[in-house]
Amino acid sequence: MAPPPPSSSLPISTLLTILCICISIPSSSSHSTLTLSLTHHITPKTNNQSSHLKHTINSLASSSITRAHYLKNPNNTTSSSSTQIPLFPRSYGAYSISLSFGSPPQKLPFLMDTGSSLVWSPCTNNYKCYDCRFSDVNQTNTPKFIPNRSSSAKMIGCNSKECGWVSGSSQQTSCNGNESCPAYTIQYGSGSTSGFLISDTLDFPEGDVSDFAVGCSIVSTRQPSGIAGFGRGSSSLPNQMGVTKFSYCLVSHRFDDAPVSSELVLVRNSTNSTNSTAGDSEMSYTNFQKNPMNSSEAFQEYYYVNLREITIGGKSVNISNEYLVPGADGNGGAIIDSGTTFTVMDNVPYDLVAREFENQMSEYKRAVDVESETGLRPCFDVAGKSAELPEFTFHFVGGAKLSLPVADYFSFVGDDGDDGVLCMTIVSSNLIGSNSSIGPSIIIGNYQQQDIYFEYDLENGVLGFRKQICK
C-alpha cells in the first residue's frame, strides 16, 4: 500500500478545527426486505481505443494489487424486512449504491465493500480529496453530507460503544465521558480517509434506522466516493441494521458507468427465516470459514470461505492447504471481497494456475508484449481462431462448486480495435513485495463475481451462489 502524499493528510488539531467550524450538532423492527440498485462506472472512450483499453486493464490490475496489499496488511486503527437497493458498476473497478442519511434525507453514493466495515461519506462543505483525479468523477461536485442540514445528526461521545468500533478500547480508557469520539483514519490500499464519527438516521421507505453510526470524513486521498462497509465488523451496515441476510448479482463490467444496475437485497431481523432460494436446484451452498481468533483485528472483518481446491479444464491444480485454509494467525485461506477488482493470489497458487492455463492452451501463441503492457499473464493471441478456454472452477468443502463464466477470468485486450488477444484477469500478490504472504492467500474479487448471484446468510454462516445473467 503506497503511503499517501504529505499534502494528503492533516493533523488531528486541524481536523478538529475544521469540524468545529463546519458542524454544529447536539451530542448524542419489524420483518422487512430492502432492495437497492447496484451500479458500476465506465471510463470515457478515446480515439486510440486499444491503447486506452490496455491502460484501463493495467490500472485495474494495479488497483487490485494495491487493494490486496491493504487487505493483507491492514492498518488496525423478530419479524423480518427486506430492502432492495440498485447496485451500479464503476470503471475504477467497484460497484456503488445510493443511501440517504439525515432529516430531511440527503442522498449520497457509496461503494459497496465486503472487505471493510465502517460506513463513511465525504462530509461538510470543507471536504478535501487529494489525488482524486478519476476520469469519471467530478471533483468540484463531490456529493457531501452536510450535518448542519440534518435535525437528527449527533456527535458520538468517546465512551460510547460506537466510538470503540473505530478508536479501540485503549482510547476509551482515557475518556472522561464529556469528549467527542477521537478522529479516525482508515487506510484503503492506495487511499485513505479521515474524519469523525457521528450518528444520524439512515432513511429507507421500508423503515428508518435511527442512530446509525456513520463516518463524517473531512479529508481523503484517492477515494472516488464514500464507502458502505459490508464486512463482519460491528460498524458495518449489515450489523448496524440487524441484517440477517444480504444478496447481490453483479452486472458485467461491460456496463461500467452506464445506467444499468442490479439489486442489492437486505433482509432484516428475521428469526429462523426461511431461505428465499430454498428448493432452487441451481443454488449451491458452503459454510463460511470461522474467522481465525488469533489473527489481526482487521482479519475478523473478512468473509473467509472454505475453499478445497481449484480445477482448470477438470484438472486439479495442486495447491497446498496452507494457501486454501487460514492459519490461526489469519494468514492463508481465501476470502470473497467486492472491493477488489481482479482476484489476487499469492505467488505460488497464482503460478500454478497460470502455468496450467499455459499448458492447456499451448496451441495459442503467447502475447508477451500485451502481458508487459497490461501486467496480466498469461495472454494469448487468438486472432482468427475460435478460442476454446478450459473451465475454471472453485471447489468448496461440502461439495459445492462454482464454475466461473469465461468472461470472469479471461478478457479480450484488442489491438487496433481487433479482439485478438485474451488475457487472464487474475493477478499475483508477488508485486506487493515482502509482505505478500501475510493475510489471505486468495482474494476473490468482483471481476470473478460478475453474472453470479451471491447470498450471504449471516444468521446461519452460509454463502450461497448460482450463475445467472444479472442484467
Residue positions annotated with a catalytic role: 113, 337
Identify the CA nearest to 420 among candidates 382, 385, 370, 388.
382
Would you state the torsion angle of the CA atoms of residues 285, 289, 291, 293, taken in this order, to the nearest 10 degrees?
A: 140
Is the distance from CB of 46 to CB of 52 less than 8 angstroms?
A: yes
Is the distance from CB of 185 to CB of 153 less than 8 angstroms?
A: no
Reading phi first (left if > 0) and then psi (alpha if -120 to 50, else beta), residue 351 is in alpha
Q: Which position has the grid cell 446509525? A: 212
Determine phi and psi for 85, rounding to 5 degrees. Answer: -125, 130
What is the C-alpha to C-alpha distance for residues 117 and 276, in angstroms, rounded to an integer? 25
Give alpha helix (H) positions in 73-188.
161-167, 169-173
What is the C-alpha to C-alpha distance for residues 100 and 109, in angstroms, rounded to an integer? 9
Task: Give how far Cα 317 sits from Cα of 320, 445, 450, Å.
Answer: 9, 20, 23
Cis previous bond, 224, omega within 30: no
Is the distance from CB of 212 to CB of 242 less than 8 angstroms?
A: no
Residue 45's CB: how many other CB atoms inside 10 A? 9
270: three-class secondary structure by DSSP: coil
- Complete DSSP assignment for 330-377: S-SSEEE-TT-SSEEE-HHHHHHHHHHHHHHTTTSEE-HHHHHHHS-S
Is the distance from CB of 115 to CB of 136 less than 8 angstroms?
A: no
What is the C-alpha to C-alpha distance for residues 447 and 467, in angstroms, rounded to an integer? 14
What is the C-alpha to C-alpha distance for residues 393 and 271, in angstroms, rounded to an integer? 34
Q: What's at 293, amino acid-wise?
A: M
Determine phi and psi for 197, rounding to 5 degrees. Answer: -90, 130
Give the gyration radius of the chain's Cα atoms.
22
Cell of 43: 471510463
